């Protein structure tokens, strides 16, 4: 008989998705206490995590605080660094001076003045983000987003992290087992035992027999053992919109022990894709994301090696690791008593680092809406599925925007990305609106949007999207100019007060940050 009360959550798969989900649920629902929710994670000792999700959003600060870890320990154990946004090189026309920033801090005065119109009318020779925000200037100067006296998780400038994904999973696992009361089963899942109504009753494991539970979380990666293989929930392929399906990843040493650590992820467009460059304290993570329909693996590797050499990497670059993926997501994320989180739910591409953010959002909603019993699970599942269908589609819209706005003409890849039939209808409609006004909060009605209107402004105007004339709406150019001066003043003060990234990270690793 199906258990009515939800008292035991079983998570299949470790890595960042599995252990982060376990940590959030266990912390929120007192898994370490006898009357708390029981949380068990089963992880195959033979399956290694993909381990290339090395960028987070600022939301990770709240998540780490929520599960009760020390930010100082996180920096020490995960080879972590500060991330203040993304820099995009050669996305507009491919020229050497073609760059723009998508910083994590909002434009100064966002929502209070029509910054975009004033930028267009009077300051168009200056990149939009450089005019409206202090943060691109911090990134160019390699500054940290806080001082040594700033408490853990607090910020002077908004920030997320770069991290070693493999070490992050180990860090979360240690915290789950030592502090949060998560039960750990290192074993291979061989199959599923079902209740008569079709719910999962238990997992058949190789060494531990049957592992029963009330709610099962599929964090088994692209294999999607429960939602995809057992329940056969269809996968919605979105390669018709976003073409990239391959990546070559490599780890690059610094030339010197005290080499600067970049304050942003750098994404450099290529003929048939783009290259990420992420700075950690001990190394750089570099990878080429590309479309196998537009270029070969050999050509992609040659482009990656050329980039590594040009960016100060070693001449004998190690052989990159090939990662293949299908861009898309599951038709449903919560089916019966099974929820998919992470790669088992879907994957698009690493542009703008949405993968870990979607894990955070999934784990948070699952924990916040944890059903008390099986009867309440149907309602929660409908809400969860509606929320995440919307979120996955908004991620696709936002990533596609980068390609649609490009004026590159050096390969069919870019021409095909601009073809009308590859652009989602909602994005086409928004671009028609934005031809006459800036993206606004009303364009994104959900309370927790994945990418807010400010992010769309940074990309639109960073890629030199110029709206038409001013129209009839009343504007106050002096108000916008005041905010631009405010951003410039903040830039001067912060550049003089903030340490560089490596200096602060070294301090954190030796002495830690103040704890509130």
Bridge partners of 251, per DSSP, are: 285
Secondary structure (DSSP) of 435-477: TTS---GGGS-STT-SS-HHHHHHHHHHTT-------SS---H
* Helical axes 15-28 vs 59-67, angle rounded to 10°: 60
Which residue shows structure tokens 């073809």?
Answer: 419
Report the number of secondary-structure helices (H) and strands (E) in the chain. Answer: 15, 21
Q: How far from chain centre, in Å, is Cα 453? A: 17
Report the alpha-carbon distance of residue 212 to residue 68 in Å, rounded. 28
Count of beta carbons in the 10 Å neighbourhood of residue 493: 11
Are 72 and 152 spatial neighbours (Cβ–Cβ below 8 Å)?
A: yes
What does the block give as tokens for 48? 């290694």
Report the alpha-carbon distance of residue 152 to residue 175 in Å, rounded. 17
Pairing verdict, β 183-186 and 209-212? unpaired
Strand order in the sheet with 321-324: 99-103, 85-89, 265-270, 273-279, 284-290, 246-252, 321-324
Are 98 and 92 spatial neighbours (Cβ–Cβ below 8 Å)?
A: yes
Q: In 55-98, at which residue ranges do the beta strands (DSSP E only) sit?
A: 81-83, 85-89
Which residue shows structure tokens 């890595």?
Answer: 15
Catalytic residue among 83, 146, 173, 400: 83
- Can 322 be counted among the known catalytic residues? no
Bridge partners of 161, per DSSP, are: 82
SS (HEC) of 400-434: HHHHHCCCCCCCHHHHHHHCHHHCCHHHHHHHHHH
Buried residues in 360-387 as b, exposed as e (16+ CB within 10 A): bbbbbbbbebbbeebeebeebbeebbeb
> Residues near 445 by Cβ (< 8 Å), separated by ≥ 6?
none
What does the block give as tokens for 300? 């992609």
Looking at the annotation, which residues are catalytic?
Answer: 83
């Amino acid at each position: 008989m199906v258990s009515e009360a939800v008292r035991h959550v079983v998570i299949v798969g470790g890595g960042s998705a599995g252990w982060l989900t376990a940590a959030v649920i266990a912390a929120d629902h007192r898994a370490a206490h006898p009357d708390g929710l029981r949380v068990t994670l089963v992880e195959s000792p033979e399956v290694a995590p993909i381990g290339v999700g090395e960028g987070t959003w600022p939301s990770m600060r709240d998540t780490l605080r929520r599960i009760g870890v020390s930010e100082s320990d996180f920096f020490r154990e995960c080879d972590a660094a500060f991330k203040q946004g993304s820099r995009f090189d050669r996305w507009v026309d491919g020229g050497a001076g073609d760059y723009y920033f998508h910083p994590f801090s909002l434009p100064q005065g966002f929502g209070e003045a029509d910054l975009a119109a004033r930028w267009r009318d009077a300051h168009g020779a200056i990149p939009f983000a450089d005019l409206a925000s202090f943060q691109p200037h911090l990134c160019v100067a390699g500054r940290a987003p806080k001082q040594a006296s700033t408490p853990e998780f607090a910020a002077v400038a908004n920030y997320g992290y770069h991290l070693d994904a493999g070490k992050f999973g180990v860090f979360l696992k240690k915290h789950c087992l030592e502090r949060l009361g998560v039960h750990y089963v290192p074993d291979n899942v061989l199959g599923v035992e079902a209740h008569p109504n079709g719910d999962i009753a238990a997992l058949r494991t190789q060494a531990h027999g049957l592992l029963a539970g009330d709610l099962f979380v599929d964090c088994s990666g692209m294999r999607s053992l429960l939602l995809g293989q057992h329940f056969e929930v269809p996968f919605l392929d979105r390669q018709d919109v976003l073409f990239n399906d391959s990546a070559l990843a490599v780890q690059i040493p610094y030339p010197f022990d005290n080499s600067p650590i970049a304050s942003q992820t750098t994404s450099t467009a290529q003929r048939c894709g783009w290259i990420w460059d992420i700075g950690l304290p001990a190394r750089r993570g570099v990878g080429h994301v590309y479309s196998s329909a537009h270029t070969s693996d050999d050509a992609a590797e040659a482009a990656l090696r050329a980039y590594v050499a040009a960016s100060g990497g070693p001449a004998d670059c190690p052989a990159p690791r090939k990662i293949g993926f299908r861009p898309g997501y599951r038709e449903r994320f919560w089916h019966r008593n099974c929820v998919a989180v992470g790669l088992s739910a879907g994957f698009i591409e690493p542009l703008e680092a949405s993968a870990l953010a979607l894990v955070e959002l999934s784990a948070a909603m699952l924990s916040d809406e944890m059903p008390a019993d099986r009867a309440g699970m149907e309602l929660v599942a409908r809400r969860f599925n509606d929320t995440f269908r919307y979120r996955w589609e908004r991620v696709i819209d936002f990533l596609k925007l980068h390609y649609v706005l490009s004026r590159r003409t050096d390969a069919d890849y870019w021409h095909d990305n601009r073809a009308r039939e590859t652009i989602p209808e909602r994005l086409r409609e928004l671009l028609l609106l934005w031809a006459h006004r800036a993206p606004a909060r009303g364009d994104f009605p959900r309370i927790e949007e994945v990418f807010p209107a400010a992010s769309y402004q940074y990309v639109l105007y960073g890629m030199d999207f110029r709206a038409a004339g001013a129209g009839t709406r009343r504007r106050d150019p002096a108000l916008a100019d005041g905010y631009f001066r405010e951003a410039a003043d903040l830039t001067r003060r912060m550049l003089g007060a903030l340490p560089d990234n490596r200096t602060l990270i070294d301090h954190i690793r030796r002495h830690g940050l103040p704890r509130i």
